[in-house]
Chains A and B, each alone.
Chain A
Amino acid sequence: MLEAREISKSYNVDTPSTSLREAFERLPDRIFFSGREERKRLFWAVRNVSFTVRQGEAIGLIGRNGAGKSTLLKILSRITEPTSGEVDLYGQTASLLEIGTGFHPDFSGRENILLNGVLLGMSRREMRTRANEIAAFAELTDFMDTPVKYYSSGMYVRLAFAIAANLEPEVLILDEVLAVGDIEFQQKCFTKMDELRKHGCTIIFASHDLGSVKRVCDRALLMDGGRLIDSSHPEQVIESYLELLREQSHSAVC
């Protein structure tokens, strides 16, 4: 289960200094104008978003590029702090924001399963007992001792998803990671997600693939400009998303 209460996130638009010289050049500014907050131009990537996901529920997160989906997922995964607001996360969370983060090309499949699992918060013992299961799910049993640098991109995706899906977390956060696998493997992932939910796993799934949102989720959230603008049955939300896109392309033409 997960509960987000009025979370917002702002970024400073002015790029922070990246070299010591720039930092020194800005020093007088910072000393003399530090009290003047309005000098900072803020960009609100997420504005006042509240929602609850019940245990065993899967929600899809849709919206245009730059709508704030990824920032929201980053906050839920603790990669970045919200500027204000709170999130309650119930139980262990596993988040897969990118395929194969933390994989080392020189390590074998088995070694990467161990490393990745521990990075995602599991213990080595648990990972050792699950390694064969993960390899079977990823259909990579014969390649477990091959360094992953020799894997094809499909094999890479399968391994990464198999690890996250087999952790059996209470909350699973996915950001557009299934798009790369082939249809057969995608089907397998959907089945796995259904199975996880039956065991009480809460899933949050951001995707541009509206079909898979419809397939996986009981509810969808639509974001635009950092705001949550719709939340209901996937079919309905997808309809209002398409409406939003139509409006936009219409105003672009006129």
Chain B
Amino acid sequence: MPIKSLEPYLFELKTVSNCPLDVLRNAVVGIDVEHYLSRLFTPRKEPNLEAIGGLPMTLKMLMDSDFKFFKDLNVKPIFVFSGLRTAIQYSYLEQAEILSRERTFRHVWDDKVNKEYFNESFRDPDSPLTMRPVMDQFMELLDSKNVEYIVSPFSAWAQLQYMLNEHLINCIFGSTDGLLVEGVDRIILSIEFESKQFKYLDKSNIFSKLNLSPKQFKDISMCIGNGFQPFTLNIFPHIPSQSTFTALHHFVLNGGSIYNTLLGLTDDGRSFEIYMKGCSALRFMPVLKLNGRVEPRQINSDASCLSVPSSGIPNSSGTDSSSIKGTSSEKVPEDMHEFIGQRLPDELFFYQSIGLTTFDLCETLVHSNAVERLPPDMALTSLYRRLVTSDNSLDIRGKTINLLANSLNRYYQFKKLKLTTYFNGSEEYELVQRMSPPIFLSLQPLLIRHATARSFDLVTLLSSLSDDFLAECTIPRKASNSDDTKISTNYELISTSLMRTLLLYGFIKEGEFKFNAWGDALRCIARSSYNSQYLLLVLWFFKQFPDLKLSDLLEPYDLHSINKKHKEQAILISKFVGLFSMNNLSSVNYAYKVSRPLLQFRSVFDKLNSNIGGAVRSNLIALLLLNQDDLDKYERDNSEWRKLILELPFRSTLPSVLLGIISQQFFEMYLDNFDLSKSFASINESFQFVHASSSAELIRGFKCFQEVAGLVKLLGEKGLIVDKEVLELFAQSNEFVDQMLSKSA
């Protein structure tokens, strides 16, 4: 997040400089991913992106063209992702009142629902595209283009600053936040490839034009909110108006002092505390050092990364004061955890840096609170609430965190955690992560080895599942120290993580290591000809909601039809089809139809997807962290690490609900006239800008739904889905689809 309201002001004052793109020739440009995305997706680009979910449709095309320019100029981009949120950033999310971003979302959704083809964007300059949902797929795109990236431990800007100072990069493409960062003179604000120039901010020039000292600039920025400190402090409590950079700038120019004003506020020092934390976070933000240490740049720890080999007693190098050297005269305060958050081990930050991220879990562990805010549809369905707050969900979440904390300092293992939902006011839930014995021990025997397979493939794993297979994979604990227990290939690591996740979620009987009824259903997924991960997720969905009612599935909906008989079927089909991805989507600035109920349904699945993904990653991290004897992890280079991460299942966000929207429009027509070809022609025409042949994709989606229906039928037979209405509707819908497919064939 940039310094709020500053950028337009800088343009207004003409302090943004232009430069021909040629200047960047041969440069290594460090790019703040969040800023890059916000540049690509300005409010006007893909205004409905958040309303349909998924990855921006034009992202790949835009990146292709950008990278082509980079290549022509021999520019090497390095993308730097933001990492964990610091304490102050996290506490911004822990507000019971609705955040400004959510308010925007709500407002835009209301307009979108009430007015057809309302094209206001969910984004505004101060709340750009959220990076985390698209992060993994973005990494995938970068990897496919052989572009290097790194996830910083905390702020991307601090990491960029460090990399610049270490001469790894020549310049930085980032947001206005960089004006706060020391040692960065120029910041590329935007690159206009078409006009062959880029805009940049010259710090000294801006300060002199604004007539502000760096301290005054920082004070103003800390008051109006920025990437390091997101709160907007209203330092004039009697004035309800918003604090903007312009207003505070004038205030300072007129002899006002932000600092003195903050000191004088009557809010029990809360604002001043936020200010202090923001300034301190900016100053002491830990960065990932070249040697792998994560520490503030003022400190240079030269402790050995090895534990003492003979004794086996953990070397407390991290806290050993003798090995810590300050590299500058700046003193580092002892209570950095107050404004940064508690410290996690360097190895964990390394896994994070290569993309093995478990942001939510780590943040929960560090900040003692799991924050759950509303999904992008800004509405709370019962399914979503249950997915977050049901006892089962809380239990699994606790177990996942236990898994992660197990390898960490004992402090984390006994830390009291809570989950707070901020759906409508705040509600607290207890999150139990203290377990004895730790969950890792009960999962540990499950270890999948494969002699030949190197890379992971979900279908391969699912098709080989059987009780025999499990028995083979289970290693008695006493033997766990032998050489056989070492797993190192991608296949072994990911399969083991996934199987342990299945165990965690109750597909496998604990202790016996045998599949239960749910686990048996896994095998039928392997037979899917379309998307086994999609089916696995659907299976997981039914597993999560054993007492699913029909109304949970159908409501809400916005499909309008007078055909009572098939309406419910059409709704059901559309919702499940909407979770299915479309191939070969055009790169189009989608500004057309949206459907809030479809997005709400997607939100449930997306949440489930990320929960599972988090559990898989926790398992993998636990494996890696505790795989002390594994030599392979020291041998992997960056590209091999990336490959491992990119093969992980459940890592990327779900596709957009576009197919569901197409399906709904199809049914709205088809249920009226039952003219298949006409209806197909109609959707082909109205969605031709999205896809060359929407009907073909829809038919593919229908076929996939048939597999879902088949899975539901199987689950019904096994007695895993008890609600007869649900089973019946699926059967009817399956028939209905059958009819259509046979007609179309």
- Co-assembled chains A and B: no
A contacts, CB < 8 Å to B: none
